């Protein structure tokens, strides 16, 4: 009986944990509850992935009302794949959070920090699992509101301004999304995504459809931090507590990519009205610009966290590049990169959290001589950096390989050159770290010798190991991505 209820339990468990934590009011108990909830939702996500692998699509009617009338949870290959990533990152960051958050968030607010983390996790899982357009907006709001608070709990006063700017941009993005859904509802009469995709080709009036597509795309790319709309991301990631940055970098933007994929292929792919509208070319151009400029800006950043934030914007450019190619290899590359980048960036930010805890800041002047002071942490960062560049044997390489394959398949050579070329820029900013950590003598600001606490190192190294493991044995991530890509393209 429980197996049938999994989709609902996946989101409800963290959602229920939050109010219980607020009632608990003690940080230790709150952390234990958060840990239990995130691990159980990770277990449910894995069980769901197996269910979907067997059954193809898992559909679950909320409140036993049949889909077009009630709200439906619809998890397919793509959904299950992203769910495992999000729940996995949630489960990995939760133990890390105990020491790292205790150092960065004032004591009285710690239990609320955990409650917000639970709500953010529930929101993100809810977005991926739902099959209803408006329900997606509601969970998008839950995830975003809790993210604003998580960012604002950072120690630095600038985190408040970063949170405020993100709130303004995020709310505009969410409202744009609602306008898009409104227009779609007016044309098709339904809110259920699958039902909408079925009824869309029948609609003759194309103008509002194109406008709806434009609104949804702009709204989602605001949350995605696609190139022209990414201004909130560097500040938000830099000034947020390190555990939050790690969790957000690995999941928040990836969930928005999932929504973009869902809308682009499931809903808009079906109707012929979008053949002539140059969405693909626009996305292609935007992602190309994103990759180049964001990587260049990343090289000149004084603060390592801000550098990685800009590199995140560039990496998201890779993912959207894969989507814009709209062929099997490109799409698989995009989905695989979604997974690989999540692990890599998560590992890097977790390790940086350890440095920030011991040295107070993560800027380059205090990274000098890190190689000797914190050998394990800096070595982990180097491996993460290699995976960012895409050196063979690491996860990054796999996704870049598929992206290049997709570019060749489309016959656009400059795309393949772009992907490889920008990896060189990535080498530049990873080298900056290697040079600071290993070649320079420890400066005045660098931390006293002594490793980061074990509670921080274990989860970080778990992710670094995952980077390498998924680089070598690609059965899980490429397999999952290929089936998801096939499913989406099949829908066209």
Partner 1 sequence: MMAVVTVGIIVQRNLFSVVVLAGVYSFLMATVLVGLDAVDVAMTEASVGAGISTVLLLAALALVGGEEARPLIRPWLPLVLALVVVGALVYGTLGLPAFSDPSAPIHTHVVPRYLNEGLKETGVPNIVTAVLASYRGYDTLGETAVVFTAGAGVIALLRRVRRKD
Partner 2 sequence: MSAGAVGGHYAYWVTVFLMVAGLYIVVARGNLVKKLIGLSIFQTSVYLLYIGPGKLIGGTAPIVAEGFRVYSNPLPHVLILTAIVVGVATLALGLALVVRIREAYGTIEEDEILDRDREPRGGE
Partner 3 sequence: MRSYLVLRVVAKLLIPFMLLFALYVQFHGDFGPGGGFQAGVIGAAAIVFYALIFGLPAAKQLAPEWIVETMVAAGVLLYAGVGVAGILLGGNYLDYFVLDHDPVHGQHRGIFWVEAGVAITVSGVMLKIFYMFAGRRRDADEG
CA angle, 416 then 421 then 425, to 5°: 150
Using CA atoms, how far residue 471 sits from 91, 273, 390, 393, 444, in Å, is 21, 39, 9, 5, 38
Helix axes 77-104, 475-491, angle to 10 degrees: 130
Beta bridge partners of 60: 73
Residue 473 binds what, of partner 2, partner 3, partner 1, none (CB under 5 to 8 Å, by partner type)?
none
The count of residues in the chain is 492
Give the Cα separation of 60 and 62 in Å (integer).
6
The residue within the footprint of partner 2, chosen from 46, 57, 172, 427 (CB under 8 A), is 172
Check residue 262 and report its DSSP letter.
I
Radius of gyration for the alpha carbons in the chain, expressed in angstroms and rounded: 21
Give the Cα separation of 341 and 384 in Å (integer).
10
Query: For residues 229 and 288, which CB has a smaller minimum distance to partner 2 in the complex?
Result: 229
Q: Is 390 helix (H, G, I), strand (E, B) or coil?
A: coil
Residue 116 binds what, of partner 2, partner 3, partner 1, none (CB under 5 to 8 Å, by partner type)?
partner 1
Tokens linked to 224: 């995605």
Segment near partner 2 (CB under 8 A); pick from 86-94, 179-187, 332-340, 343-351: 179-187
As measured in angstroms, the least distance from the Cβ of 103 to partner 1 is 14
| Helices H / strands E in the chain, number of each | 19, 2
Binding flags for partner 3, 245-274, as an x/- string (CB under 8 A): ------------------------------
Q: What is the bridge-based pairing of β-strands 58-61 and 72-75? A: antiparallel
Give yes or no for residue 18 binding partner 3 (CB under 8 A). Answer: yes
Query: For residues 30 and 250, which CB has a smaller minimum distance to partner 1 in the complex?
Result: 30
Query: For residues 178 and 489, which CB has a smaller minimum distance to partner 1 in the complex?
Result: 178
Segment near partner 3 (CB under 8 A); pick from 2-10, 177-185, 219-227, 251-259: 2-10
Nearest-CA neighbor of 307 among 323, 294, 316? 294
Question: DSSP string spanning 340-361?
Answer: HHHHHHHHHHHHHHHHHHHHS-
Segment near partner 2 (CB under 8 A); pick from 138-146, 260-268, 277-285, 423-431: 138-146
Give the Cα separation of 347 and 247 in Å (integer).
10
Question: DSSP string spanning 409-434?
Answer: HHT-HHHHHHHHHHHHHHHHHHHHHH
Nearest-CA neighbor of 323 among 233, 411, 417, 403? 403
Segment near partner 3 (CB under 8 A); pick from 19-27, 186-194, 281-289, 475-483: 19-27
Tokens linked to 478: 């490429």
Give yes or no for residue 70 binding partner 2 (CB under 8 A). Answer: no
Burial of 465 (0-12, 13-18, 19+ CB in 10 A): middle
Binding flags for partner 3, 39-68, as an x/- string (CB under 8 A): ---------------------xxxxx----
Residues 348-377 that bind partner 2 (CB under 8 A): 360-361
As measured in angstroms, the least distance from the Cβ of 61 to partner 1 is 10
Query: For residues 149 and 407, which CB has a smaller minimum distance to partner 1 in the complex?
Result: 149
Give yes or no for residue 141 binding partner 2 (CB under 8 A). Answer: yes
Biggest alpha carbon distance in the chain?
69
The residue within the footprint of partner 2, chosen from 13, 45, 143, 163 (CB under 8 A), is 163
Contact residues for partner 1, defined by CB under 8 A: 15, 18-19, 22, 62-63, 65, 68-71, 106, 108-109, 112-113, 115-116, 119, 122, 126, 134-135, 138-139, 141-142, 145-146, 148-149, 152-153, 155, 183, 185-191, 199, 203, 205-208, 210-212, 214-215
As measured in angstroms, the least distance from the Cβ of 266 to partner 2 is 21
Query: For residues 73 and 318, which CB has a smaller minimum distance to partner 1 in the complex?
Result: 73
Residue 171 binds what, of partner 1, partner 3, partner 2, none (CB under 5 to 8 Å, by partner type)?
partner 2
Contact in structure between 107 and 95 (CB atoms under 8 Å): no
Segment near partner 3 (CB under 8 A); pick from 7-15, 365-373, 404-412, 450-458: 7-15
As measured in angstroms, the least distance from the Cβ of 313 to partner 1 is 22
Give the Cα separation of 293 and 228 in Å (integer).
11
Site size for partner 3, by CB under 8 A?
A: 17
Tokens linked to 213: 């597509």
Question: DSSP string spanning 357-386?
Answer: HHHS--BGGGTTTHHHHSHHHHHHHHHHHH
Residue 182 binds what, of partner 3, partner 1, partner 2, none (CB under 5 to 8 Å, by partner type)?
partner 2
As measured in angstroms, the least distance from the Cβ of 252 to partner 3 is 23
Question: DSSP string spanning 436-463?
Answer: IIIISPP-TTSPPS-PPPHHHHHHHHHH
Query: For residues 207 and 372, which CB has a smaller minimum distance to partner 1 in the complex?
Result: 207
Site for partner 2, rule CB under 8 A: 134, 138, 141, 145, 148-149, 152, 156-158, 160-161, 163-164, 167-168, 171-172, 175, 178-179, 182, 185-186, 191, 360-361
Site for partner 3, rule CB under 8 A: 1, 5, 8-9, 12, 15-16, 18-20, 22-23, 60-64
């Amino acid at each position: 009986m429980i197996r049938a209820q999994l989709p609902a339990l996946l989101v409800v468990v963290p959602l229920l944990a939050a109010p219980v934590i607020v009632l608990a009011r003690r940080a230790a108990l709150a952390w234990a509850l958060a840990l239990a909830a995130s691990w159980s939702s990770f277990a449910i996500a894995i069980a769901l992935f197996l269910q979907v692998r067997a059954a193809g699509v898992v559909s679950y009617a909320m409140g036993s009302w049949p889909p077009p009338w009630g709200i439906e949870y619809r998890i397919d290959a793509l959904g299950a794949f992203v769910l495992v990533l999000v729940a996995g990152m949630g489960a990995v960051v939760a133990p890390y959070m105990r020491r790292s958050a205790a150092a960065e968030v004032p004591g009285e607010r710690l239990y609320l920090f955990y409650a917000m983390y639970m709500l953010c996790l529930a929101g993100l899982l809810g977005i991926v699992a739902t099959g209803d357009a408006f329900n997606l907006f509601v969970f998008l709001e839950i995830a975003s509101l809790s993210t604003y608070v998580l960012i604002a709990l950072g120690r630095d006063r600038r985190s408040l301004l970063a949170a405020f700017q993100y709130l303004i941009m995020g709310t505009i993005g969410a409202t744009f999304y609602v306008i898009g859904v409104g227009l779609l509802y007016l044309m098709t009469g339904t809110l259920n995504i699958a039902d909408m995709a079925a009824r869309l080709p029948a609609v003759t009036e194309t103008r509002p459809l194109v406008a709806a597509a434009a609104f949804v795309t702009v709204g989602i790319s605001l949350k995605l931090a696609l190139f022209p709309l990414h201004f909130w991301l560097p500040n938000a990631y830099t000034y947020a507590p390190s555990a939050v940055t790690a969790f957000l970098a690995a999941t928040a933007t990836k969930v928005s990519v999932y929504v973009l994929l869902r809308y682009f292929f499931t809903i808009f792919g079906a109707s012929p009205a979008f053949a002539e509208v140059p969405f693909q070319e626009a996305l292609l151009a935007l992602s190309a610009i994103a990759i180049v400029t964001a990587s260049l800006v990343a090289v000149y950043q004084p603060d390592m966290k801000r550098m990685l934030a800009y590199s995140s914007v560039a990496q998201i450019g890779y993912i959207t590049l894969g989507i814009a190619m709209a062929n099997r290899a490109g799409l698989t590359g995009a989905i695989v990169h979604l997974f690989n980048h999540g692990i890599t960036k998560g590992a890097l930010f977790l390790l940086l959290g350890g440095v920030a805890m011991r040295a107070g800041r993560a800027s380059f002047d205090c990274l000098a001589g890190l190689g000797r002071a914190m050998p394990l942490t800096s070595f982990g960062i180097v491996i993460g950096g290699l995976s960012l560049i895409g050196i063979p044997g690491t996860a990054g390489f796999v996704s870049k390989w598929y992206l290049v394959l997709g570019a060749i398949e489309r016959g656009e050579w400059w795309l393949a050159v772009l992907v490889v070329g920008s990896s060189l820029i990535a080498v530049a900013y990873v080298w900056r770290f290697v040079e600071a950590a290993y070649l320079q003598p420890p400066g005045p600001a660098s931390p006293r010798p002594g490793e980061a606490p074990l509670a921080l190192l274990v989860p970080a190294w778990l992710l670094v190991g995952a980077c390498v493991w998924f680089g070598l044995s690609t059965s899980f991530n490429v397999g999952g991505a290929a089936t998801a890509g096939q499913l989406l393209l099949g829908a066209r």
